[in-house]
């Protein structure tokens, strides 16, 4: 882990009408680090990360990527800056194969522009290579995604994000293990650690506090759109974390006083 943040969010706010979904939130994440984000339902976690991924524009605040100011207004702009997000629903197409999903919307083609030909073998080889680099063996790249387990689907979504990344720096994952059992969660969490160890800054939203405390290096706790804590996980235990989520900054004041 280096000390310079790869991503900084500075004073991000976003309202929907009278609902203040995110209020003046600032955080940073460094290469080779996992930042966990926790908070109750409606705390603003997904909204904040959708700002980071370029899916929604903030009302105020900005991002800095490797020190340069950037506030993406499209997913393409965020992607060009090295930010990829995997949404909770994964966005996979059940009736397409693993390879087709990994390259959906950005297929590799060859031949003349008027008569493009899909470079199927090259895409299959690339998919296999990405999955192998993550230590994943799916056996058959042409199998339909509908036949895969929850954990395997998560793997395909991760492979897809890795292939999409121009300059891979930040990977944001919204509830990657929410729908998974214990052993599949472990596989996905191992993969998150591997991404971190290859130099990614990984941001993980999760409701599973014990799991996240073990996984994340630092934690951002949100309540009612506001950040109530941003610091190393080693300063927190499950009890204290729950206090912060439920009571917000009041939990800090009490322990400080």
Do 67 and 51 touch, CB atoms closer than 8 A? no
Q: Binding segment for ligand ATP among 40-48, 95-103, 121-129, 155-163 (CB under 6 A)?
A: 40-48
Do 193 and 1 touch, CB atoms closer than 8 A? no
Regarding 18 and contact with ligand ATP (CB under 6 A), the answer is: no
Regarding 7 and contact with ligand ATP (CB under 6 A), the answer is: no
Residue 42 partner contact from ligand ATP, Mg ion, none using kind-dependent CB cut-offs of 5 to 8 Å:
ligand ATP
Please state the closest distance from residue 47 (CB atom) to ligand ATP, in A.
Answer: 3
Judged by CB under 6 A, the number of residues near ligand ATP is 11
Regarding 46 and contact with Mg ion (CB under 5 A), the answer is: yes
Residues in the chain: 257
DSSP state of 43: S
**Residue 203: closest CA among 93, 118, 82:** 82
Q: Phi then psi for 156, rounded to 5 degrees?
A: -65, -40
Regarding 125 and contact with ligand ATP (CB under 6 A), the answer is: no
Q: Which of residues 47-86 bind ligand ATP (CB under 6 A)?
A: 47
* Of residues 49 and 163, the one with the C-beta less far from Mg ion: 49
Q: 165-193: buried (b, 16+ CB within 10 Å) or exposed (e) per residue?
A: beebbbbbbbbbbeebeeebbebbbebbe
Candidate residues 1, 4, 11, 16; the one interacting with ligand ATP per rule CB under 6 A: 16
Regarding 226 and contact with ligand ATP (CB under 6 A), the answer is: no
Q: Binding segment for Mg ion among 43-51, 64-72, 130-138, 143-151 (CB under 5 A)?
A: 43-51
Candidate residues 3, 18, 41, 68; the one interacting with ligand ATP per rule CB under 6 A: 41
* Of residues 127 and 227, the one with the C-beta less far from Mg ion: 227
Helical (H) or strand (E) element with 52 = helix 45-52
Q: Phi then psi for 231, rounded to 5 degrees?
A: -175, 180
Residue 39 partner contact from ligand ATP, Mg ion, none using kind-dependent CB cut-offs of 5 to 8 Å:
ligand ATP
CA dihedral 170, 70, 30, 255 (to 10 degrees): -110
Q: Binding segment for Mg ion among 7-15, 44-52, 145-153, 212-220 (CB under 5 A)?
A: 44-52
Residue ranges of E strands in 71-127: 83-86, 109-110, 117-118
What is the rounded CA–CA span in Å between residue 158 and residue 169?
14
* Of residues 102 and 216, the one with the C-beta less far from Mg ion: 216
Strands 170-174 and 83-86: parallel
Regarding 21 and contact with ligand ATP (CB under 6 A), the answer is: yes
Residues that bind ligand ATP (CB under 6 A): 16, 19, 21, 39, 41-47
Chain positions contacting Mg ion, by CB under 5 A: 46
């Amino acid at each position: 882990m280096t000390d310079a943040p790869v991503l900084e969010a500075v004073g991000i706010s976003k309202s929907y009408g009278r609902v203040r979904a995110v209020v003046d939130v600032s955080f940073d994440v460094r290469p080779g680090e996992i930042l966990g984000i926790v908070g109750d339902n409606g705390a603003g976690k997904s909204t904040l990360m959708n700002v980071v991924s370029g899916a929604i524009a903030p009302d105020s605040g900005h991002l800095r990527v490797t020190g340069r100011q950037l506030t993406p207004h499209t997913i393409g702009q965020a992607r060009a800056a090295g930010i990829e997000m995997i949404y909770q629903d994964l966005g996979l197409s059940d009736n397409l194969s693993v390879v087709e999903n990994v390259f959906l919307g950005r297929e590799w083609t060859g031949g003349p522009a008027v008569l493009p030909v899909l470079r199927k073998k090259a895409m299959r080889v690339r998919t296999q290579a990405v999955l192998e680099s993550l230590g994943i063996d799916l056996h058959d790249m042409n199998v339909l995604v509908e036949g895969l387990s929850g954990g395997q689907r998560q793997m395909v979504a991760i492979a897809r994000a890795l292939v999409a990344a121009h300059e891979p720096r930040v990977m944001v994952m919204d509830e990657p293990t929410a729908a998974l059992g214990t052993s599949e969660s472990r596989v996905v969490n191992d993969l998150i650690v591997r991404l971190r160890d290859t130099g990614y800054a990984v941001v993980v939203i999760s409701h599973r506090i014990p799991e996240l405390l073990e996984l994340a290096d630092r934690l951002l706790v949100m309540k009612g759109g506001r950040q109530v804590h941003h610091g190393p996980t080693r300063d927190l235990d499950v009890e204290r974390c729950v206090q912060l989520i439920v009571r917000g900054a009041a939990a800090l004041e009490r322990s400080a006083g």
